[in-house]
Chain A
Amino acid sequence: MIPKNGYTYAVSRLKAMANRLLDNNSIIRLWESETFSSAMKLLSETHYAQWLSEMKNENDFESLISSELNYVVSETRSISPDKRIPILFQLPFDFHNIKVLVKDKITRTGNQGRRIDLLTSLGNVSVEDLILAVESEDYRLLPFGLHAVLPESLSIWEQSHDVLMVEKRLDAALFELMKSIAESIEIEGVKKWVRAKIDAENIRNVLRLVRFGLEIGKISSFLHEGGFISKEKLLLLVNEPLEGWGRLVGFADAAMALSEITDFSDTEKSLTELEKSLDDYVTGVLGPYRYDAFAPENILAFLWAKDIEAKNLRIILVGKANDVDKDVIRGLLRNVL
């Protein structure tokens, strides 16, 4: 285990790199801009300007955001004394890529177009290696247990032809892996972050699956162990109207996220509000460590803040491109720190 004072250089460097985070004023200016092009102009006045050459056309903000994220992740990875911290942050991107590739393989058998444009280079495993493994059906060299999970997911599809079952298996593998890595790192804030992520995913799953009308036994199989809220407590939510959820899990910090839902009558709106407040809840878990000049949690907090910033930028720019109402956009913006 790396001693706490082993993170001084990395944390200090990241504090300096935190100047790369867009401050509230910049976000508000972007949000207030009248058109997509004026928002892009404002963005090009920030440090995102260095990635302008990566844009394939004037509307390609995704390349801008991805380039910045890739740079930040690779820099953080290079300076982090314990590489497992950035690995932990990147794992969801690996599993996202696997989901994309599995779905691509499934849909291709039906002679549909490829969907590999949705792959992200933010994962631990390079996109090329993943594609090669899937194309050649040779998964032996894939790390993090992916060599077993990937063929298993494909075989689940063969047997059930149910994408939900495939997603369930991949999510279970992701959270098991995140839990085991967090346990091995032995850093309090990192463990809390993983537990909060599990809580957020579980609450999201319960709300979505209740909407699908799934029965309690099936919903239970979609929930993950290891969060602050036990599976048993989460299953109590199934038969409870959304208004009462905050009361049932009031003992956990995640209840704060539920209390931020303003409109319970509109399921679509409440789901959107819940998504936002669950992200804020996960952000909040890492908040107290920002004031510790030597806390290794700052590494994870910075990566997570950058990821949230990217989410906010996508929300604003997609909103501007589609003339979405400003208030709707504002309601979706997450807290960065």
Chain B
Amino acid sequence: MEILGVMLAVLGAALAAGLAGSGSAIGVGIAGEAGAGIMTEDPGKFGLVLLLQALPGTQGIYGLLTAFFAILKVGLLGGEAIEVSVWQGLGVFFACLPIAIAGYYSGIAQGKTSAACIQLIAKRPEETGKAVILPAMVETYAVLALLMSIILLNSIKL
């Protein structure tokens, strides 16, 4: 039973890192394709394109952070071994879900917004400030999900 508890926590950590990372990979890929299209015509826009392409990458970092917290919580990253019941393991698993789910979808959505904004700066480079704000709005919901995952992880008493 103790192993099952730890495994549930590990599954949660794996989903947080895996799904949020996948969302980021897809998002960064979409923005990258758009960026390549723009830079073929105007290589001078590399700096702006890189900034916008990097934005959807944060969800992957949030997922990784949550995964670290989760495995730290159940004592898999050094320290003393902690006894984890199935219910506690399930709690850690559920605590990881907000960033796993929101990270995946917000990563893709942010990638699409970044791609659209990369197209915006191709036509109107003077609007770069606004072009960064629009995909940053999507980031809000990934940050909220990260916050909730951390609060939930902290609320589980082991």
Contacts and interface: CB of A to CB of B under 8 A. Distances in A.
Interface of A is mostly: helix
Interface residues of B, number: 17
A293 B115 contact: yes
Interface in B63-118: 112, 115-116, 118
A9 B119 contact: no
Interface string A1-43: 0000100111111111111000000000000000000000000
B138 interface: no
Contacts of A15: 37-38, 119, 122-123
A299 to B, nearest CB: 12
A8 B35 CA distance: 9
Given A18-B123, A293-B119, A294-B112, A8 B33 contact: yes
Contact of B123 (A5, A8, A11, A19): A19
B127 interface: no
A9 B122 contact: no
A13 B41 CA distance: 7
Contacts of B42: 16
A16 B37 contact: yes
A12 B112 contact: no
List the 9 closest A-B pairs by CB distance, nearest first.
A12-B37, A13-B37, A16-B41, A293-B116, A12-B34, A8-B33, A15-B119, A16-B122, A9-B37
18 contacts: A8-B30, A9-B37, A11-B37, A12-B34, A12-B38, A12-B119, A13-B37, A14-B37, A15-B119, A15-B122, A15-B123, A16-B122, A16-B123, A17-B41, A18-B122, A79-B37, A293-B115, A293-B119
Given A10-B37, A293-B115, 4 more contacts: A5-B30, A11-B37, A15-B123, A16-B42
Interface of B: 30, 33-38, 40-42, 112, 115-116, 118-119, 122-123
